[in-house]
Amino acid sequence: METLVVVAVVVLVGLYGVKVYNGLVSLRTRVQEAWSDIQVQMKRRYDLIPNLVETVKGYASHERGTLEAVVKARNAAVAQTGTPEQQAAAERAVTGALGKLFALAEAYPELKADQNFRALQDELVATEEKLNGSRRFYNGSVRDLNVTVEQFPSNLIAGVFKFSKAQFFELDEDERAAASKPVKVSFN
């Protein structure tokens, strides 16, 4: 009878271990999928930037420094294949350069009125919204994985099978402040 109890306990512990392991695999896969979605949205954003720069060039060709900064930031971000933290730093540079480009567009009413520029700007805004949604999904997935990796007793299984915490894709303080401000909408 004692042997049966010991076998039952070992089987239950083994089943629990399998359940936790499969849960960790599922969480890790969700984090990878979420990161892939961020990369898709960033690629879409990067693909829009050259068209936007070309459109602005037609109206503000003497603003070469701003246009070059946008292209340089975009190219650096495309080349970045590091950690989420490194990718976030490259993204901040792109966001800053695009902000300067759109500020430049304010000085050129004929550019703001250009249908192609407005369409590209609208598409970029839609892409930014998708990217923000992808970031939230990724960070939620990272949170779930990190909690499971750290909680007892799942941390024992995570340690044995070398599951580790993932990095969040975080905004810096300037982006947090900008994100909390209301968006200005102008129909001029």
Measured CA distances, 141 to 101, 123, 186 (Å): 33, 27, 36
Over the chain, what is the mean pLDDT? 87
Residues 156-187 have pLDDT tens digits of 999 999 999 999 998 665 544 544 444 343 43
* % of the chain exceeding 70 in pLDDT: 90
Q: What angle do CA 43, 75, 41 make, to 5 degrees?
A: 15
Residue range 126-144: average pLDDT? Answer: 95
pLDDT on residue 185: 36
Q: How confident is the model at residue 27 (pLDDT cuts 50, 70, 90)?
A: very high
Listed in sequence order, the residues at least 6 apart from 139 whose beta carbon sits closer than 8 Å to its beta carbon are 168, 169, 170
Residue range 24-52: average pLDDT? Answer: 95
Residue 145 in contact with residue 179, Cβ under 8 Å?
A: no
pLDDT on residue 171: 65
DSSP 67: H
CATH of 22-180, one of 1.20.1440.20, 3.20.20.140, 1.10.238.10, 3.90.1150.10: 1.20.1440.20
DSSP one-letter string for 12-55: HHHHHHHHHHHHHHHHHHHHHHHHHHHHHHHHHHHHHHHHHHHH
Please say if the pLDDT value at position 58 is more than 90: no
Q: How confident is the model at residue 49 (pLDDT cuts 50, 70, 90)?
A: very high
Q: How confident is the model at residue 59 (pLDDT cuts 50, 70, 90)?
A: confident
DSSP 163: -
Please say if the pLDDT value at position 139 is more than 50: yes
Question: How far is Cα 7 from Cα 117, in angstroms, rounded to an integer?
Answer: 71
Distant-in-sequence contacts of 52-55, Cβ < 8 A, 24+ apart: 52/101, 52/117, 52/120, 52/121, 52/124, 53/101, 55/111, 55/114, 55/116, 55/117, 55/120
Q: pTM for the whole thing?
A: 0.80
Question: How far is Cα 134 from Cα 151, in angstroms, rounded to an integer?
Answer: 26
Among 74-88, 101-115, 164-178, the least confident range: 164-178
Question: How far is Cα 78 from Cα 72, in angstroms, rounded to an integer?
Answer: 10
Question: How far is Cα 140 from Cα 89, in angstroms, rounded to an integer?
Answer: 20
pLDDT on residue 131: 93
Which sequence spans correspond to the domains of the chain?
22-180
pLDDT on residue 172: 62
Measured CA distances, 145 to 112, 129, 164 (Å): 45, 24, 9
pLDDT on residue 174: 53
